[in-house]
A and B are shown apart, each in its own frame.
Chain A
Amino acid sequence: MEDRTPTPGADDPAQRRDLILVERARGGDLDAFNSLVELYQDQLYALVARMVPDVDQAADAVQEAFFSAYRKLDSFRGGSFKSWMSRIAVNAAMDAQRAKRRRPTTAYPEFEDESWQPPAGADDEPEATVVAIERSREIARALASIAADQRTAIVLFDVEGYDYAEIAEMTGVSLGTVKSRIHRGRLALRALLADRRDLLRS
């Protein structure tokens, strides 16, 4: 009897578009794969750059993630391409973190640039915008200073919106460890921002 069970997520237009592009890329169509890169490179770079504070290392990790995805396209079994790609990117970021521990580099000079500044809305008051920029900068700086495994858990949970179970699966640790890393990470962030608590509450 023919299986008429629809592919999970096949009704989602974005997912259907991704699956078509993946099929074409599997057939050797590089433009199709590059279309997927264009669709997801901003999100993946943002994810990895929060986990790996060194911008060059973060960029290398994202590039390596796309290389890895292209190499392993045949192992993609359907479902959400974005989730599959995010997992590869998180793995690449964790590899970069391990490499950074072995080979420490200059401590986060990238926070001096403007890439972490939130876009100013037309309706925002100048003072509020300045505070928001300052808060983002301070949190980013503190986030870069805490332990890599705590930072990864916080970024995946707070920023990317993954749940505990997904993070546990991505990072290869237990659910309890994920929770513990998030809680300890937040306590560490709070300690680092002890002098700037006004920013948190503003």
Chain B
Amino acid sequence: MTNGSHSDHADHDQLAVASFAAGDAVDLELERARQLVAGCASCAALFADLQALQAATASLPAPRRIRDFRLTEADAARLRPRGWRSILAAFGSPRLAFTQPLAVGMATLGIVGLLVASLPGPLMTATAPASDGGATVEMAPEGAPAGSDDLLKTEATGPLASAAPGDATMPAAPAETPSTALVPAPSPAEGTAAERTDAQADLGFDSGTRELGDTSGTPWLTALSALLLVVGVALFAAGRLARRAR
């Protein structure tokens, strides 16, 4: 047996010795640890200390309990609520944690929806998507004199479409203007407004040409937004109350 110097021992694999002392070393690590313990006095001392430490740790006395941990009736009622409280408590569980961001999202959508529904007519018309059967514009035939009786008629056929009073007529604009760029003017081949109205009626669309500024198409948006807002706020409040109860 050779006694390794202290500087040599510092280079030795102490983790392998620890693994050997615990009985976990296998194969190469086991071989290396055996050699170290056999050839280095410091490694041998480490091995002995670790085994003694393991035994001493295992026989540590149990710390004495400083408190009684039995539950009170109040604890029990809080931890396992019954009746409507159990439903409320479910919102505070980690499984339903997603309801809080969902509630915020619903309330935000509700507020935005209510704001959009209360917008004045022209803004609503501009925001109405053409694919929803939004505002369509009847153009005067080319060559018609500007300012003549053939004025643009704005026809609202979609639920979002509306216009403010006073915008019922406007001068004919060239086809390149933004309003006509957004909503292409129908060619004569596409039929008259009356024909389109009939077709829309066949398809189940609201066929009536509304008065501009008529917001009767938005109640569904208002109702839906209000519903989202109420449900969102209720969900958020339930989550907060449940978490406070925990």
A187 touching B56, Cβ below 8 Å: no
Contacts of A28 in B (CB 8 A): 80, 82
A184 touching B60, Cβ below 8 Å: no
Contacts of B70 in A (CB 8 A): 34, 37-38, 41
A22 CB to closest chain B CB (Å) equals 13
A184 touching B15, Cβ below 8 Å: yes
A142 CB to closest chain B CB (Å) equals 9
B241 at the interface (CB under 8 A from A): no
What 1/0 flags go to A186-202 for Cβ under 8 Å of B?
Answer: 11011001000100110
What 1/0 flags go to A163-202 for Cβ under 8 Å of B?
Answer: 0000000000000000110111011011001000100110
Distance A136 CA – B50 CA, assembled complex (angstroms): 15
Contacts of A182 in B (CB 8 A): 22
Within 8 A of A (CB), among B65-90: 65-71, 73, 75-76, 79-80, 82
Distance A140 CA – B14 CA, assembled complex (angstroms): 23
Interface centre among B63, B65, B68 (most CB of A within 10 A): B63
| Other-chain contact of A41, B56, B60, B65, B82 (Cβ < 8 Å) | B65
A70 at the interface (CB under 8 A from B): yes
B23 CB to closest chain A CB (Å) equals 11
Interface residues of chain B, those whose CB is within 8 Å of chain A, are 14-15, 18-19, 21-22, 24, 46, 48-50, 52-54, 56-71, 73, 75-76, 79-80, 82
Given A30-B71, A66-B69, A70-B75, 17 additional A-B pairs, CB 8 A: A28-B82, A33-B76, A46-B65, A50-B63, A58-B63, A59-B67, A59-B69, A71-B79, A71-B80, A115-B64, A118-B59, A139-B60, A159-B57, A180-B15, A183-B24, A186-B18, A190-B49
